[in-house]
Amino acid sequence: MTRHETFARPTIADKDFVLATDLDGTFLGGTEESRRKFYSWIEESRDRVGLIFVTGRDPGHVRDLTRRRGVPRPDYVVGDVGTTIAEVDDEHFLAPIAPLEAEIAAAWNDAGMRVQAALRSVPGLTLQSSGFRFRVSYDMDPDRFDDRAFDIVAELGLDALVSADRYFDVLPKGVSKGPSLLRLLTHLGVDNRKVLVAGDTLNDLSMLTMGLPAVAVGNSEPALISALEGMEHVHRAREEGVGGIAEAILHHKLLQ
């Protein structure tokens, strides 16, 4: 190689394995020692391993995790419960992928104020302060929550999703973690057979049921485990958090 020649950085489609993982309770879960070891393995294996965060968290939170809290920087993020699809640059900034988000924006159709007005009188819902682009999110009190909220959201032509029995998200129709992740993988040309999908709550259900190799980590929400009954492509890990992810990589034989 001459001094003027450089090696092209491998794309995520070229890598041997891609981890598409939820954050809270999954990639951020497990013991401090297991996280330290797993994160070190990710960093040492960047030439072979691709990393996608599939999370309910917003871009600002993801950037804070990777810049300030020692969490490996992902290649891509499916954030805001599937309503953000973005590439992550070397400075940890998230750049939305416009062709993939156009359909999401159209399905949302600036529904934020309509959603807030329609759900204002529903007990047990407290509006979250973050200003999301294509969703409205609430903290939910399960003891006070009124199920008619689901009917209200359906009448608006949107989808409602409850997770961890304490969050209530209103999303564009047909948009959630699973469909958005699948669109990203297709856009990137990634072979789905080398992808491991990891999660722990009901808002991960749509990506765990896509048929890709998957894992529900050891500390998963009981309602998620029940919903996954009979799905042989999903490994039910004994270990929590990243320990469960490592367990599933071996179980599915995804890396030599």
**Which pLDDT tens digit goes with each residue over 138-170?**
999 999 999 999 999 999 999 999 988 899 999
125 by Cβ neighbours in 10 Å (0-12 / 13-18 / 19+) ranks as buried
**Which residue's entry shows tokens 């940890």?**
92
DSSP 234: E
Q: Which of 3-12, 184-193, 195-204 has the lowest mean pLDDT?
A: 3-12
pLDDT at 212: 97
**Which pLDDT tens digit goes with each residue over 38-55?**
999 999 999 999 999 999
pLDDT at 118: 97
138 neighbors 115 (Cβ within 8 angstroms): no
Mean pLDDT of the chain: 93
**Which pLDDT tens digit goes with each residue over 102-127?**
999 999 999 999 999 999 999 999 99
Structural domains of the chain sorted by starting position, each given as residue range(s) with its CATH number in brackets? 12-100+175-251 (3.40.50.1000), 104-172 (3.90.1070.10)
Axis-axis angle for helices 241-251, 32-44 (nearest 10): 50
